[in-house]
Amino acid sequence: MSEPIKKECPVCGVKIVSGGMLGDRVEYSVGAPGTRDDLYQRVCRHTQKAGCINRDPKGTSLPNR
């Protein structure tokens, strides 16, 4: 198994962990982990700063269903 890739959004301060076929997981500083879409709805869509790595959930590796 390959190492999961972790990326931290410098704007929102959350970590996105690549989960391959299972989809990416988002780790918040507090609370239970969620999905990237979850993160987008809760945090990133409110963020108007450049540098947020989750600005476009449709452009991710997640199946968009």
Kindly state the smallest distance separating residue 6's Cβ from Zn ion, in Å.
14
Q: From the list 25, 36, 52, 57, which residue makes contact with Zn ion (rule: CB under 5 A)?
A: 52
Helix, strand, coil percent values for the chain (each to nearest 5)? 25, 15, 60
Pattern of binders to Zn ion over 5-44, x per CB under 5 A?
Answer: ----x-xx-------------------------------x
Residues 6+ apart with CB under 8 A from 13: 29
Which residues make up the interface to Zn ion (CB under 5 A)?
9, 11-12, 44, 52, 54
